[in-house]
Amino acid sequence: MKKFSLMRPQTLEEALTILRDAPDVLPLNGGTDLMVDVNEGKLISPRFMYIGGLPELKKIEVRDGTLCFGGAVTYTELGACPDISAFPCIGQALSNLASPPIRNMGTPAGNMGTASPAGDFNLILLALGAEADLVSAAGMRTVPLSEFYLGVGKTVREKSELIAEIRIPLVKGQHSAFVKLGRRRGQDISRVSSAVSYLLDEGRIRDPRIAIGAVNAVPFRSGTFEEIVSGKTPDEAEAALEGAFPAEANPRRAYKRYVVTPMVRRAIREAQAQEGDWQWS
Amino acid sequence: MEKSRKEKYIGRRMPRRDALVKAQGRAKYTADYRTADMLWGKAVFSGMAHARILRVDAAKAEALPGVVCVMTAKDLPAAKKYGIFCADKPVIAENMILYEGDPIAFIAAETKEIAEEAAALIEAEYEALPVVEDPREALRDDVPPIHENHPVTGNAKVMAEVTLDRGDVDAAFAEADIILEDDFETPQIEHVYLEPDCCIARWVDDTDVLEIVAPQQAVYSTLRALAPVFGLPESRVRFISPYVGGGFGGKEDSCCDLAVIAGLLAMKTRRKVYSEFTAEEVFRYTGKRHGSYVHHRMAATKDGRVIGLDIDIILDKGAYQSMSGLTGGPHAVAQRTVLYAAGPYSVENVRIRSRAVFTNHPYGAAMRGFGAPQIHFAGESQMNELAHRLNMDPVAIRKLNMITPERPTSFGQVLTEENGLGLEECMDKVKAELDKPFMPKHPVRPSQRRGMGLAAYIYGTGMPYKSEGAMCVVHVNRDASVEVGISTTEMGQGAQTVMAQIAAEALGVPVETVNVPLPDTFLSPDSGPTVASRSTTFVGNAILDACRKLLAGFTEAVAHGVGCSPEEVTYAKGVFAAPDGQEIPLRRAIYMAATQAIPQSAVGIWYPPVDIGFGPKGGNSMHTYSFGCQGIDLLLDVETGEIELLRSVLACDIGHALNPQLVEGQMEGGAVMGLGYALTEGVEYKKGVVSNDSMKDYVILGFKDLPQMTSIIVEAANCMGPFGAKGVGEPPLVATAPAVREAIRNASDGVKLNRIPFTPERVITGIYKAKEGGQTS
Ligand SMILES: Cc1cc2nc3c(=O)[nH]c(=O)nc-3n(C[C@H](O)[C@H](O)[C@H](O)COP(=O)(O)OP(=O)(O)OC[C@H]3O[C@@H](n4cnc5c(N)ncnc54)[C@H](O)[C@@H]3O)c2cc1C
């Protein structure tokens, strides 16, 4: 029997109190991961608390040089925000992430919460150097995304905490791209994915971030690849990576070994033509 | 074909008559007929693919308030097994679970929720048995047979074995310049019809009739298969098939799986019962296209003539007979793989064996193409390999080998221009279209390589059985409006539309006045199943026959009325003309007939003149064959194995397009299905239990994946078809997979992939294996 119970707090404070008192309660956001688990019998009679409508978690704004969006902002809402033009990789990810109905419900915070190695938005957040506020009844802490993921479905989030806000720094002149290998375009889980961002300093790559998904238990950044490409032109970087393999990668399926680097190289190439476009003041 | 034809409706693009009601949501499908007073009927499954049932205890489920009845195997009133060709599938499993879809109990409850709760209360114990998934493994001596006591084959492992042995194969191979030998593999795939199976059954108390409404492709097959299960004569079971949301062959069988549940529960409870499979249950329990393992040897001369074929085909039969065919007949999928093993080519020396082998998978069922896609994947791939070996043009080598009036089929059937031989034109047109310059609209990555490929096919119209024919009743009302009584299902292909066109053309009445009701065994005559790309041709011919008979009667009535001989009366555009200049409109003629004991209804019938000699002697299995050619243009990323489709060019020789718009619908839909078969689809199992049982995990192509599609209609008329038509329902997907394989091969400098689907993983693994020197599969 596919049953679950549902609570509907009206404020963030109420929600945090519920989580403090009943740590088994699961925050339900768009439900596009949780309801699948219910349907597939992976969650038996869970207790859900719907947070998708909490006004405190619905804001999108630019503040202190960052794009800030709440933990209940959906992909569709984010996609409609003009400021994402600063991050071309976000548009790319959104157009390939699931399908419009799923994007109408699903949230970046949910992608973080599920912490699937194949989660597409996790890569975006890693590649753009995002951080998130985790709040609980006891207080708030800020965690960089690079420290958020611990394993498949495991994160540093305590059960009493909610992802309240996600912040992405707005960086002038930043190039970025997201690429994904699936069996079909759209509506398919990534087999290997990569998101990258970098600045171009007289045509040379500076401050690169190279994120790789669906290869290890967690989405990760490849420091070794970042080091290789730093200071090179995108063309040189692509050439330098040919035949290389990221030391951090540990794929279980053999074919992923073949395709990881080509996907990273593709992302680097695509990013070259995709500079963020924003009203820099 | 830019011929000026005298027909008013035939050959015209006419929108589907069901289009508007479907677009507006007014069309009713089975589930729309549900009412609040219906019980919820549910089957309970074991979750295992192979097990001995030790105990089933329904006591707790029965005691649950709201449960009206629970049935286990011991409660079955009559026949305990059923099937379209042979009754081998247990209605409720008693001793053995042979695949995941064997139910152990049926439950009728007041609500769905209660039924589900009751299902969880059924207690059962099993002894798990080793699951046999690979039919090649099933044949090994140390693997016990799946069936201990099959009603037809006893404990044999092979359900059906069909062979064709003609000419001197060994001599051909001995004198061949080139021998190509390889293995090819295709998976079981799901039909993925959008409407999951469901069924409404009720016992009609005042007439003692069991009435069943369900989406079906063949109401009379369902009737014949299931009347024994209900213990009723066929005349007291009424099967109705409303609009059907896609079938693709699957709804010949799957409707039976649902109708036994709702039907038996309705008989037992005397209440209306609704039963359905969820989409996941459809994936798990209903039939699949047979998986295949083909060992293919081809002997050829150095100038490109194929002189011998030695082919061994093993089909994944799954647990029950369904459509594999019976040894000795009626033949089915196994036989079609043999029939089409040589493709559209004339090969004199052939030794072909096809065996359908039991496994613990869902039963191998009918699916669009019925064995042809599997064997064409092997055969057309080999033909392309031969062209490469000889450095010949793929079209030229096919023309050299193709069936002509002088060069018969591998099974000895002589086809003449009268049967419609349009292959050459199809190939020329596809090649010409592919040769046109075409640039992708987006930048091409350096790692993306372009590749094109083509493949051809042959596909017969109808079934090679003695009982294969169609019957219909055409009735003309007093106002000259027409009812066409047939049992052909409307599942989106446009049957109602084309049948109305045929009747309107033949009777000279406005097409809007022709009604083609949906199948109902109490009202519609048996025009045969809606399968085998047969309906337009077979049923269309039967309608023409009935219309001719009606007009003959009306002519006689007119002649008698005006006092001349029938030969002197002519008929055109709804008006009879007598020699004295009198004009008698059809309406009056019908009234005249009614006053002269001349019927206003006529039974039409059509059986093709085939003399099925399938064996060393040869024979004509089908009265006509459709031919075609599929061209593919794609980009292959040689670093990741991703395939991006650019163009699909499909030319189908369909005799004559009675409604080009419907034909193009079949062609485009078929090509898309074929592309999914080639690139993404395949049922996956864990211990025989389906693991990709949802639209999320079972990947069919989406619109974003589709290439530019060109559908070229070629018309080599079938002299026996209605207005020259032959079948187009299934053929469009028969040659897709080998064409894709060839395009990949050309894009990758010769990587040979012999196993579909060509997922990025398989493609890139193949590319790397080829780099490392070994060949691939
Ligand atoms: C058909 C389909 C296609 C899909 N395609 C893709 C795809 O292409 N790419 C992809 O990456 N994903 C895909 N997904 C997965 C899913 O849509 C995403 O992971 C989505 O981001 C989940 O967001 P949600 O709001 O629906 O999460 P939910 O299901 O509501 O929650 C997911 C998890 O996160 C936790 N959580 C959610 N919000 C918060 C919060 N604010 N604070 C703390 N914990 C929280 C929940 O408790 C739960 O553990 C697909 C899913 C479906 C059903």
Q: Residue B616's pLDDT is what?
A: 52
Q: Nearest CA to B409 among B491, B350, B321?
A: B350
Q: Rounded distance, CA B771 to CA B750, Å? A: 11
Calculate the average pLDDT of chain A.
Answer: 96
Choosing among B764, B771, B776, which should be mutated to test the A contact, i.e. which has the most A CBs within 10 A?
B764
Q: Residue A161's pLDDT is what?
A: 98
Whether residues B23 and B45 share a domain: the answer is no
- Boundary-marking domain end, from B606, B635, B667: B606
Whether residue A258 lies inside any domain: the answer is yes
Sheet holding A220-221, edge to edge: A174-181, A192-201, A204-213, A220-221
- For B59, the enclosing helix (H) or strand (E) is helix B59-63
> Tokens representing A188?
């398919």
Q: Of A30-44, B243-257, B476-490, which gets the smallest average pLDDT?
A: A30-44
Instruction: Please judge whether B640 and A263 are an interchain contact, meaning their C-beta atoms are less than 8 angstroms apart.
Output: yes
Whether residue B171 lies inside any domain: the answer is no
- Boundary-marking domain end, from B574, B591, B606: B606
For B557-572, the pLDDT digits (tens) are 999 999 999 999 999 9
Q: Rounded distance, CA B352 to CA B528, Å? A: 30
Q: DSSP 3-state assignment of B431?
A: helix
Largest distance between two CA atoms of chain A: 62
Whether residues B261 and B115 share a domain: the answer is yes
> Tokens representing B585?
């409109």
- What's the structural domain count of chain A? 2
Give the chain A residue nearest B763 (alpha carbons): A255
Whether residue A277 lies inside any domain: the answer is no
Helix/strand/coil (H, E, C) string of chain A? CCCCEEECCCCHHHHHHHHHHCCCCEEECCCCCHHHHHHCCCCCCCEEEECCCCHHHCCEEEECCEEEEECCCCHHHHHCCHHHHHCHHHHHHHHHCCCHHHHHHCCHHHHHHHCCCCCHHHHHHHHCCCEEEEEECCEEEEEEHHHCEEECCEECCCCCCEEEEEEEECCCCEEEEEEEECCCCCCCCCCEEEEEEEEEECCEEEEEEEEEECCCCCCEECHHHHHHHCCCCHHHHHHHHCCCCCCCCCCCCHHHHHHHHHHHHHHHHHHHCCECCCCCC
Residue A203 has a CB neighbour count (10 Å cut-off) of 11
Question: Over 50: is that where the pLDDT of B46 sits?
Answer: yes
Contact A155, A116 (CB under 8 A): no
Question: Over 70: is that where the pLDDT of A224 sits?
Answer: yes
Cβ–ligand 1 distance for A216 under 6 Å, the answer: no
Question: Over 60: is that where the pLDDT of A189 sits?
Answer: yes
Q: Residue A162's pLDDT is what?
A: 98
Whether residues B671 and B730 share a domain: the answer is yes
Tell me the percentage of chain B whose pLDDT exceeds 90: 94
Whether residue A104 lies inside any domain: the answer is yes
- Fill in the amino acid letter for B296: H
Q: Which among A181, A186, A253 has CB closest to B640?
A: A181
**DSSP secondary-structure letter at B737?**
H
State how far residue A138 is from chain B, nearest Cα, in angstroms: 39
B159-182 burial string, b = 16+ CB within 10 Å, else e? bbbbbbebbebeebbeebebebeb
Instruction: Please judge whether B704 and A186 are an interchain contact, meaning their C-beta atoms are less than 8 angstroms apart.
Output: yes
β-pair type (B237-240, B349-358): unpaired
- Structural Rg of chain B based on CA atoms: 27
Nearby residues of B582 by Cβ (< 8 Å), 6 or more positions away: B562
Q: Which among A36, A188, A262 has CB closest to B699?
A: A188
Whether residues A195 and A159 share a domain: the answer is no
The boundaries of the domain holding residue B302 are 288-463+612-772
For B199-253, the pLDDT digits (tens) are 999 999 999 999 999 999 999 999 999 999 999 999 999 999 999 999 999 999 9
**DSSP secondary-structure letter at B722?**
G
Burial class (CB in 10 A: 0-12, 13-18, 19+), A238: buried
Q: Rounded distance, CA B133 to CA B686, Å? A: 10
Q: Residue B167's pLDDT is what?
A: 95
Whether residues B600 and B583 share a domain: the answer is yes
For B623-654, the pLDDT digits (tens) are 999 999 999 999 999 999 999 999 999 999 99
Whether residues B258 and B310 share a domain: the answer is no
> Tokens representing B593?
């007939």
Q: Residue B621's pLDDT is what?
A: 83
- What's the structural domain count of chain B? 3
State how far residue A202 is from chain B, nearest Cα, in angstroms: 24
Interface of B with A (CB under 8 A): 113, 116-117, 120, 445, 447, 637, 639-642, 679-680, 696, 699-702, 704-705, 759-761, 764-765, 768
State how far residue B699 is from chain A, nearest Cα, in angstroms: 7
For A107-148, the pLDDT digits (tens) are 999 999 999 999 999 999 999 999 999 999 999 999 999 999
Q: Residue B777's pLDDT is what?
A: 44
Q: Rounded distance, CA B603 to CA B471, Å? A: 7
Which ligand 1 atom minimizes the distance to the CA of A35? 29
Question: Over 90: is that where the pLDDT of B513 sits?
Answer: yes
Q: Residue A211's pLDDT is what?
A: 98
Sheet holding B482-485, edge to edge: B514-515, B482-485, B470-476, B601-606
**How far, in Å, is the centroid of ligand 1 from the Cα of A31?**
6
**How far, in Å, is the centroid of ligand 1 from the Cα of A33?**
4
Q: Rounded distance, CA B17 to CA B661, Å? A: 12
Average pLDDT in the B450-465 region?
Answer: 95
Nearby residues of B661 by Cβ (< 8 Å), 6 or more positions away: B13, B14, B15, B16
- Boundary-marking domain end, from A169, A188, A205: A169
Whether residues A151 and A212 share a domain: the answer is no
Q: How many CB pairs under 8 A join A and B?
A: 58
pTM of the full predicted structure?
Answer: 0.96
Q: Best of A32, A76, A193 to mutate for ligand 1, by most ligand atoms within 8 A of CB?
A: A32
Whether residues A16 and A147 share a domain: the answer is yes
Q: Nearest CA to B457 among B375, B382, B513?
A: B375
Whether residue B321 lies inside any domain: the answer is yes
β-pair type (B81-82, B89-90): antiparallel
Interior CA angle at A176 toward A173 and A180, to 5°? 175
Q: Residue B1's pLDDT is what?
A: 41
Q: Is A252 on the interface with B (CB under 8 A)?
A: no
Cβ–ligand 1 distance for A29 under 6 Å, the answer: yes
Burial class (CB in 10 A: 0-12, 13-18, 19+), B80: middle
| Bigger pLDDT: A241 vs B620 | A241
β-pair type (B158-166, B349-358): antiparallel
> Tokens representing B253?
């069988």
CATH number for the domain that contains residue B99: 3.90.1170.50
Angle between helices B736-747 and B372-390 (to 10 degrees): 30
Whether residue B5 lies inside any domain: the answer is no
Give the chain A residue nearest B697 (alpha carbons): A188
For B373-406, the pLDDT digits (tens) are 999 999 999 999 999 999 999 999 999 999 999 9
Residue B605 has a CB neighbour count (10 Å cut-off) of 16
Instruction: Please judge whether B705 and A185 are an interchain contact, meaning their C-beta atoms are less than 8 angstroms apart.
Output: yes
Whether residue B175 lies inside any domain: the answer is no
Q: Nearest CA to B151 among B48, B249, B79, B255?
A: B79
Cβ–ligand 1 distance for A34 under 6 Å, the answer: yes
Instruction: Please judge whether A1 and B705 are an interchain contact, meaning their C-beta atoms are less than 8 angstroms apart.
Output: no
State how far residue A189 is from chain B, nearest Cα, in angstroms: 9
Whether residue A89 lies inside any domain: the answer is yes
Average pLDDT in the B53-57 region?
Answer: 98
Q: Rounded distance, CA B669 to CA B239, Å? A: 28
For B335-366, the pLDDT digits (tens) are 999 999 999 999 999 999 999 999 999 999 99
Nearest residue by C-alpha to atom 34 in ligand 1: A113
Contact A181, A191 (CB under 8 A): yes
Q: Rounded distance, CA B594 to CA A29, Å? A: 71
Whether residue A134 lies inside any domain: the answer is yes
CATH number for the domain that contains residue B451: 3.30.365.10
Whether residues A151 and A202 share a domain: the answer is no
Largest distance between two CA atoms of chain B: 90
The boundaries of the domain holding residue A104 are 5-169
Instruction: Please judge whether A253 and B761 are an interchain contact, meaning their C-beta atoms are less than 8 angstroms apart.
Output: yes
- Find chain B residues with C-beta within 8 A of A266's C-beta: 445, 447
- Structural Rg of chain A based on CA atoms: 19
Strands (E), B178-305: 178-186, 198-204, 209-213, 237-240, 273-276, 288-289, 291-300
Nearest residue by C-alpha to atom 44 in ligand 1: A113
Interface ipTM > 0.90 = yes
State how far residue A15 is from chain B, nearest Cα, in angstroms: 31
User: Can the peptide bond before residue B566 be classed as cis, meaning omega within 30 degrees of 0?
Assistant: no
Whether residue A19 lies inside any domain: the answer is yes
Question: Over 80: is that where the pLDDT of B5 sits?
Answer: no
Give the chain B residue nearest A36 (alpha carbons): B696
CATH number for the domain that contains residue A194: 3.30.390.50
Average pLDDT in the B439-463 region?
Answer: 95
